[in-house]
Chain A
Amino acid sequence: MPAVAIDGVWKYYGDYPALRDISFEIDAGSCVALLGRNGAGKTTLLKIMGGLSRAAKGRLSVLDGDTRTRAVRRRIGLLGHGIGVYEELSARENLEFFARLQGLPRPKDTAAEWLERTGLAVSRDTLVREFSRGMRQRLAVGRAFLHDPDLLLLDEPFTALDDRAIALLQKLLSGARARGATIVMSTHQLREALELATNVVLINRGRLAYCGPRTVEMLADPGWLYRNYGEA
């Protein structure tokens, strides 16, 4: 069964179609690079997959279920534009909160484990307000991964990450791949994305322009895809 099956999905803002008749499938265990210009509809599509938004028309099946059920959302990890951690709480409190929200059996232990993995154990009781940018990003990554999700939705994850955070994210992503998780990553950084990706989806002005496996050509010349199927 595919991890994500999208069939004839439309999304409107008023009368304006942000997504038009999008249909494709994502196999379990694959890593999809979701490409497209700014405003093409990548974030909208990710939001619909993550259960933050509803499609106006069409069918969507995520992890064999509806995104608005708890069971499905428990298996999704979302890393959006905002880091999604609370400034007025400490790192430990943030991770414990999200662990509890996910319904994990031992939230305190899980939080402690992820503080170690993100390299934040030393600052566990410092308020996020006092964190550096890189530390915040690592905490955000921890929040998205701590429940071992089967589907990871990442919206421009490499943008504005420092080196340490990028290294952490790449390590966690390959760990997730090894576990058989599915990854959907929208990004502008073609090179990084294409290196990790097994499949590529290109959205152009709300329409699906290309969907297929990543080829050697794309890796060698990242601009190839845009030139042939869309706009740069």
Chain B
Amino acid sequence: MRSLRAAWVVAGKDLRSELRTKETLNASLSFALVILLLFSFILDPDSQTVRAMTGGLLWLVFMFAGALILNRSFARELPNDCLEALIASPLSGAELFLGKCAANFVLLVLVEVICLPVFGIFYNVRWMRQPGLLFVVLLLGAWALTIIGTMFSALTVNLRLRELMLPTLIYPFLVPALMAAIQLTNVLIGGDTLEKDDYIWFRVLAGFDLIFTLLGMALAESVFVG
């Protein structure tokens, strides 16, 4: 689509930048590993209670590790006033926002895909029982985190206390998406089939993603142009 072409260009640039150094990716994965380790002291990995908590654990890890990636998103435009050069180019606010989201999404999904087997090993969880639906949940949840995180990364880019503020701001917003993702992941990792009651969570997740994507695109211009 013509109007999204520029978004892909931005996404491509971000991914090229990140995959060259892999700084943020490494930091994010290391952090995820550390959290998984710490949780192992809090919970007894073999007990039944952990079975019921796998969804929660996994998404907590993704949320915390993901914040590192999201923080970098607009921060990487600060040196040399590159953000100014971007906004002055024929790129609409919505395109810039979507481009950044796309790049962050890819990185987040990469983190998820790497964490999942590690999680399975550490906590003795067989997660391959319903891979298709589980993957859909991972994608939808990652997009929710991406949208909110990217928007707040844009909002806080010029602020002094950016790194401190981003997590505090985004986690309350993500509560509905988090609950939905946790609920669905719990069921799917446990190998059960989804009940009718569980499908509501797919709707919550999809609805959340849609609403905030549209809001983000609508507000992007106001956020970038002073």
B81 and A83 within 8 A (CB): yes
Asked if B80 and A101 sit within 8 Å, CB to CB, the answer is: no
User: For residues 79 through 123 of chain A, which have their beta carbon under 8 Å from a beta carbon of chain B?
Assistant: 80-89, 93, 97-98, 100-103
A232 at the interface (CB under 8 A from B): no
B20 at the binding interface (Cβ < 8 Å): yes
Is B9's CB within 8 Å of the partner chain A? Answer: yes
Q: Is B17 engaged at the interface, CB distance under 8 Å to the other chain? A: yes
Q: Evaluate contact between A101 and B91: CB separation under 8 angstroms.
A: yes
Which residues from chain B contact A50 at a C-beta distance below 8 Å? 88
Q: Does B90 contact A70, Cβ atoms closer than 8 Å?
A: yes
Within 8 A of A (CB), among B179-226: 221, 225-226
Query: In the assembly, what is the distance between CA of A219 and CA of B92, in Å?
Result: 41
Q: Does A170 contact B (CB under 8 A)?
A: no
A86 touches B89 (CB 8 A): no
In the complex, the answer to whether A51 meets B226 with C-beta atoms within 8 Å is no
Q: Which residue from B17, B80, B90 sits with its C-beta under 8 Å from A84?
A: B80
Known contacts A51-B225, A52-B226, A68-B225, A85 near B9 by CB under 8 Å: no
Residues in A neighbouring B84, C-beta threshold 8 A: 52, 78, 80, 82, 84
B195–chain A nearest beta-carbon distance, Å: 48
Q: Give chain A's interface secondary structure class.
A: loop
Q: Are A102 and B90 in contact (CB under 8 A)?
A: yes
Is B16 an interface residue when CB atoms closer than 8 A count as contact? yes
C-alpha spacing A80/B89, complex, angstroms: 13
B226 touching A54 by the CB < 8 A rule?
Answer: yes
Cβ of A53 under 8 Å from chain B: yes
Complex: A97 Cα to B13 Cα, angstroms:
7
* Distance, CA A52 to CA B89, complexed state (A): 10
For the complex, count residues of B whose C-beta is within 8 A of A: 25
B21–A84 touching, CB < 8 Å: no
Query: Does B52 sit within 8 A of A, measured CB to CB?
Result: no
Within the complex, which residue of A52, A68, A86, A103 is in contact with B82, where a contact is CB–CB below 8 Å?
Answer: A86
A103 and B80 contact, CB distance less than 8 A: no
Q: Which B residues lie within 8 Å of A177 (CB)?
A: none
A74 interface residue, CB < 8 Å from B? yes
In the complex, what residues of B have CB within 8 A of residue A85's CB?
80, 82, 85
Q: Is B85 within 8 A of A98, CB to CB? A: yes
- List residues of chain A with CB within 8 A of the CB of B225: 51-54, 68
- Interface residue A73 (Cβ < 8 Å from any Cβ of B): yes
In the bound complex, how far is the Cα of B9 from the Cα of A47, in angstroms?
24
5 closest A-B pairs by CB: A82-B81, A84-B85, A70-B90, A74-B90, A73-B90
Residues on A lying within 8 angstroms of B by beta carbon are 47, 50-54, 68, 70-71, 73-74, 76, 78, 80-89, 93, 97-98, 100-103, 143
Sample 15 A-B pairs with CB under 8 A, ordered by A number.
Answer: A52-B87, A53-B225, A70-B91, A80-B84, A80-B85, A82-B84, A84-B82, A85-B80, A85-B85, A86-B82, A87-B79, A89-B17, A93-B13, A103-B5, A103-B6
Given contacts A74-B90, A93-B13, 19 further A-B contacts (CB under 8 A): A50-B88, A52-B87, A54-B225, A68-B225, A70-B91, A71-B90, A73-B89, A73-B90, A80-B84, A82-B84, A84-B84, A85-B80, A85-B82, A88-B17, A88-B21, A89-B13, A101-B91, A102-B90, A103-B5
